[in-house]
Amino acid sequence: MKKSGCVLLALFLALCASLFFNFVLLAFFGADKAETIAVRRFSPHLQEVTVEDGASGAGKIAVIPIQGLIHTDDRNEWGTSMVDDVKNALRTAADDDDVKAVVLAINSPGGEVTASDILYNEVLKVQKVKPVVVSMNSLAASGAYYIACGADWIVANETTFTGSIGVIIQTLNYQELFDKVGLDSVIFKSGKFKDMLSGSRPMTPEEKAYVEGMVQQVYDRFLGIVAKARDLPAEELRNGIADGRILTGRDAQKAGLADQLGYIEDAYDKARDLADAPDAGVIRYESGPNFQRLLRMLGAGAQTNVQLQIAPGPRFQLQPGCAYLLPEFYAW
């Protein structure tokens, strides 16, 4: 009892010392500079929450959720994006020898092209050292399916909406509105394509062809990744299901986009099988205390801006000129 009390006291004193250090950083350097220094001293921390118990020494299966729109613009209250958080979890699982396999629990309509590609690349890195299994929930479409192609095995629910293999760029034309209110847009540009997505005038045929070429280039990469991952002919995909259509989990399995129909527990079992760890437990990662996050909160607390929101708007809006791997119904 006396020994455990000394340990607790030592931990408390260490925490106080760390807090004091970061408060000093904040006072002398400001939130942004202090955060940079703190990142070098404190790595992001993830806590493990037990989902299913396993046998002692049998290892564990790490569950990493990928939920919501995949993008890097919208940072959470801790100052990190969902891409940052998923990357951190994937790298943690890859570096932990006790983690025998990874299950990606996906419930996402897709998102930004580059954000999806970054996570796909991170999944591939993990897949080279230990098995990765995907479990699809309600949605695993477009960019989310792009990421799933980095896994060894894909489990879809019969009612999952997946597929949507395609790329979308949108802009808004408001020329007629400007004409009605008597406004005119004056643009000075260095080249003929510099304002090709301007909403103040119609696009020229040459501009349309240029943008369509960019979209096609990204689409070809997406198509090639799917064809390689699923061992399907690219041209067969191009002329068939890779036209942007949404598929149910059952149809996706028939088309070769998924390996198995089932639930997340089936994904756990498959991960154990691939890792040859039948008695492994299952854990999921949750974000724990992080001094970088504390500094961000303190810096944000110093701001005095007050905002009044009368009615909630959409959480995410497609940005003009940015390419997305999303179903059409998410393009507003």
- Which residues does residue 50 pair with via DSSP β-bridges, in sequence order? 283
The token pair at 160 is 């999952």
* 211: Cα separation from own chain's centroid: 25
Per-residue pLDDT at 264: 96
The count of C-alpha atoms lying within 13 angstroms of the C-alpha of 242, restricted to the half-sphere facing its C-beta, is 25
Instruction: For 37-86, write each residue's pLDDT tens digit.
Output: 443 333 356 788 989 998 988 999 999 999 988 988 655 444 567 898 89
Query: Phi/psi of residue 296, each to 5°?
Result: -65, -40
The set of residues, in sequence order, having a beta carbon less than 8 Å from that of 54 and lying 6+ positions away, is 60, 279, 280, 281, 282
316, 71 Cβ separation under 8 angstroms = yes
Residue 116 has pLDDT above 70, yes or no: yes
Query: Burial level of 195, CB count in 10 A (0-12/13-18/19+)?
Result: middle
Instruction: For 119-130, write each residue's pLDDT tens digit.
Output: 999 999 999 999
72, 83 Cβ separation under 8 angstroms = yes
Pick 204 or 165 by higher pLDDT. 165
| pLDDT-based confidence at residue 135 (cuts at 50, 70, 90) | very high
Whole-prediction pTM value?
Answer: 0.75
Mean pLDDT value of segment 107-131: 95
Q: Mean pLDDT, the chain, as a whole number?
A: 80
Instruction: For 214-257, write each residue's pLDDT tens digit.
Output: 889 999 999 999 999 999 999 999 999 999 999 999 999 999 99
d(CA 316, CA 179): 29
d(CA 102, CA 204): 48
Q: Which of 276, 259, 289 is nearest to 61 (CA)?
A: 276
Per-residue pLDDT at 2: 52
Exposure pattern of 272-303 as b/e (b: 16+ CB <10 Å)? bebbebeebbbbbbebeebbbbbbbeebeeee
| pLDDT-based confidence at residue 274 (cuts at 50, 70, 90) | very high
Which residues participate in catalysis according to the annotation? Answer: 142, 194
127, 152 Cβ separation under 8 angstroms = yes
Helical segments of the chain, H only: 2-41, 82-95, 113-127, 143-148, 175-181, 205-230, 234-238, 249-255, 264-275, 291-301
Query: Any idea which residue has 């990204």 for tokens?
Result: 218
90, 134 Cβ separation under 8 angstroms = no
Residue 31 has pLDDT above 90, yes or no: no
Map residue 321 onto helix, strand or coil. coil
Query: Phi/psi of residue 99, each to 5°?
Result: -80, 115
d(CA 70, CA 107): 10
Range in 3-17, 169-183, 201-215 with the lowest mean pLDDT? 3-17
One-character DSSP codes across 51-111 = EE---TTS-EEEEEEEES-B-SSS--TTS--HHHHHHHHHHHHHH-TTEEEEEEEEEE--E
Domains of the chain listed by start with CATH number: 18-297+317-330 (3.90.226.10)
